Chains A and B, each alone.
Chain A
Amino acid sequence: MAPDAHKAIAELLASQEDHVLREWLRQLKEDGTLDSGRIRENEQAVQCTQILRQLRQGAQGGTVDLSNAAYEPLRDTLADLSRSRALQGFTPRETAMLVLSLKEVLFDALARQHPDDATFLAKATNQIGLLLDRLGLHTMEVFQQSREELIVRQQQEISELSTPVIKLWDRVLALPLIGTLDSQRTQVVMENLLESIVQQGAEIAIIDITGVPTVDTLTAQHLLKTVAAARLMGADCIISGIRPQIAQTMVHLGVELTVVSKATLADAFALALARQGRAVVKVRPAAPAADAART
């Protein structure tokens, strides 16, 4: 009576671990996983050794079902490995091949160990194939998940970085907006602006939309919301930096901004100063470049 697939793996790995490992590493090398220079050969060897050892542990648990508790260390190892590879910038192919290349090696070794028993070989190959496919899927799932987490984190960082509130003058704030204004970002922008109004005791806030690529009805609504909230706090808003094409699009769309708006940030700042009873005046002729460099 031929042994079951799990026993076959366990025996195979017990008797020929070195051989399997060597073949596997050769396969990986041929496949070019080392070419990118992201991982060193001996580092990969350590990882592979660990995977083989844990695969053997799992197989000794008496099953080829990956959800079994015996495979838990292997699942964890692969998840960690896949996560760190996702962050290091490995391609999905490189990550998947790590597991899938083991299939061929195991089949070869198995065929060599049981050369005469075709029925058993077919059955074991099928089961081991299934097990390794599931391992591969598991790896890819974690890989994908890590990539998505990375994207979400970057999105958050971008939205936080791209909404600075700048103090232009005593009680005059500027809020240069860069990028598309969706409802989530509006929330962040609004909170930042209102907090700064309280902190600086601002009277006038200039919202500069030079960096906003398009202004549609929704964006306009978000802008107006921000303006309304600032007004409730006792600060007036001026919108600046509406580019010519955007102004045209807005008129075509019928978007109306019922707020004071100026073409450039400089104009808006001048208006803000005028409202405070201030003005920028020239006190003496401009210094020649050479003098300016010396002082």
Chain B
Amino acid sequence: MDRIPILKLGNALLVTIQVDMHDRLATALEEDLTARIVSAGARGVLIDISALEVVDSFIGRMLDNIAAVSRILDADTVVVGMRPAVAITLVELGLSLTGVKTALNVERGMSMISGRGRLAALDADDDGE
């Protein structure tokens, strides 16, 4: 069965979803990720969904679950790169993923995880003022 690769970057885990998610893939990812957070001692999980054009309520709930589980394991979850259409769909479905942090792209998500917060994320690629 296909699995979504989980990359370790410093003390964070990076998951880039590039194929259409079906439900079994989502469940597998949830399990793999939980195991990896513990084994790698990760402090943050970055889920890049910029390639996803369709997100249904199941995937939405999966994102919420991952966030809840990693919070228990003391890791922040940041969902990055959500497309406008996907964001509108999720809101219309009533899933506003309140437990999940979000960022526009991987770079900003990464700076959020590395403990410097959103303010530092701005400085990281500042305009040199």
Binding site for B on A (CB under 8 A): 170-171, 187, 190-191, 194-195, 197-198, 201-203, 225, 228-235, 275-278
Contact = CB atoms under 8 A, between A and B. Distances in A.
11 contacts: A187-B88, A190-B91, A191-B84, A194-B84, A194-B88, A197-B84, A198-B83, A198-B84, A232-B86, A233-B82, A234-B108
Contacts of B82: 232-234
Interface of B: 79-80, 82-84, 86-88, 90-92, 96-97, 102-105, 108-109, 118-119, 122-123, 127, 129
Interchain residue pairs A-B with the least CB separation, the first 6: A194-B84, A228-B96, A234-B103, A234-B104, A232-B87, A234-B102
A194 B85 CA distance: 9
Tell which of A170, A201, A228, A233 has the most Cβ of chain B within 10 Å.
A233
Contacts of A203: 104, 108, 118, 122
A194 B84 CA distance: 5
B123 A277 contact: yes
A232 B97 contact: yes
B104 A191 contact: no
A276 to B, nearest CB: 5
The binding surface of chain A is classed by DSSP as helix
A190 B88 CA distance: 8
Given A191-B84, A194-B87, A201-B104, A232 B96 contact: yes
B91 to A, nearest CB: 4
B102 A233 contact: yes
Nearest to B60: A232
Contacts of B119: 275-277
Nearest to A231: B102
A229 B109 CA distance: 17
Contact of B91 (A197, A228, A234): A228
Contacts of A276: 119, 122
B122 A232 contact: no
Nearest to A258: B98
Given A195-B84, A203-B118, A203-B122, A232 B91 contact: yes
A170 B86 CA distance: 25
A187 B129 CA distance: 36
Given A197-B104, A201-B104, A203-B118, A233 B84 contact: yes
B66 to A, nearest CB: 15
Contacts of A277: 119, 122-123
B91 A225 contact: yes
Contacts of B88: 187, 190-191, 194, 229
A165 to B, nearest CB: 12
A281 to B, nearest CB: 12
Nearest to B104: A234
Contacts of B80: 234
A229 B60 CA distance: 13
